[in-house]
Structure 1
């Protein structure tokens, strides 16, 4: 494996870093100030749409899609360092139309969508006109085991009828969110991994009710939001089924591989920014007669953080390289490993930075607290650590049979 980035990637990195410095960092507070505190899910901060237009003009748009027909034609290995840069800011991924869950949903439509589905939903997602959500997790079952999903998708003539309650449907609070990919059971009698299907459900369909938007450690993540949605006898055309009945589990595996590694790339970017914040802070703060940077324990935090970030980045690049060269299925162990390693690493680095900042670290005056809350969810999202560790152990034990 060649660890050096190509000239194309280096050029994109430089362009992206310049954009971050000129437009993203200076507008993070502007974005937060423009959120309507009385109705945070009612409208989108104007600055976001302005920045998206600038990103389009700069050619920094849909970088995540390896399919050159729809995206930038970058491999996973080429996209990794760019995604890391975006991960340095909470608002950056959306600016470049590289934010979850839209990225995963677009990949599903590219891979498994019909021409009609692509025309109706993929195209407006690619242009950033609309947003989407992914409805899989349910409040009444352990959804890390997809076989537990209880929502039903039943054929009735030329329609499917959807019933069930989902929650943590990220993005559903956004007024631009127009479509959900819903996972449910269509045949409980089928083999365990062929019972589930995925179907496209417009959020304005009769019977769809957003019951509430759930906070994360007190953060509502407006206007994005994580919604609890009730699907009560919702009818959609049979043509809204993705790929075919019983293909839901297979689609989920295809969707979550790239999604997991994208989360890891962004986590590394967040960790890098936290380490920068830490290093800058300890240079200017004095306690007990000397700068914090001269305290042995602080130097240990910095050293450990650098070591851990580099380890996580190398494992992420290896996983991306394998996805490119041997495919997602053969890279499943590496994807599982990095999904455990990257969020845990980022949380450690962020925790050290928060500690170095003292009380300021847990405030909203700096991005550390909100970043920690966001990344803590990644130990659960797209499969909890325990599920990935179980898979890794099984892959390892197979070598000794």
Structure 2
């Protein structure tokens, strides 16, 4: 039974940790809840004990003969602090140990995940930003807070991510136990762009964004800082990702080019429209009685991956995707050369294949001529296998993509 320590700090979001605790226990994890004294002002000790089926202690003096301030951290396979207040981030960054939770954080040798929750001004304060940077530089995982309703009438960045999102993220960390992307900045694009025809119609595609979101989760679990650029995706944001929302291919291009500058890895999992209408009608196009509609003239959209491939510097890894309906491998190899990609992920798609599904069958081609065909896997597992290839590229990267 995996052992998890759930640290709970004093904030209004402490009540959400009850749901997170339930998700852990119902999935077979043993959970030791370590609340701060201020957390108990929001949710009492009996609640934590009942939900975890374990005793709850907050002070190093409780059960002193068992040396809890050392034993709890050593025994854990994962520590999750949710909500993590500005106070706990500051104490952890500076090695302050004045209660059981902070002692546990100092003795833990397993991955530690902080899920911050605080007002926007506190999150954006230079002191908090410096503390977060310090923790991340030491290998701790500090996920980005969500944007939404805070206490009172306030709204902004600082909301605790939903418990289900934190739980899913924690599971990825437990499964991976790899920190091979720590300190790396990963940019992932996801979803499908929409090109307006008139105020109510657009040209688009069937991409759901599921594979891109799985890639973002995998990179986060392996320690990366992730920028996720989502084109018309309705999925819950991966806990910890910095999510940018776009609509058209040009918006996707602008956001990706900006985010990719200085990034270590760029994964182009989105499905940008190859074409767009030459003109956009200012009013809804009406049907005429018995008349044929006017023809729609299309123009070619920019090739974002090719632009990134031409501009990427030494050490940056570019992963492209090729969704094909026929001749997939042949077309993909041509695309890899044209886009100067280091890796290209190939799949055959259709109305009932891949798009919107939870599983995927792909082949990963490398610029060095390598190829790995993956049998049908969950999109989360596909994402991890893709990053296995990326890590190999990072280890042996000398700059540039395929030579042409």
TM-score, with structure 1 as normaliser = 0.21
TM-score, with structure 2 as normaliser = 0.21
Give the structure with the larger strand fraction. 2
Give the structure with the larger helix fraction. 1
Answer with 1 or 2: which has the greater Rg: 2
Higher RCO (Cα < 8 Å, 6 or more apart): 1
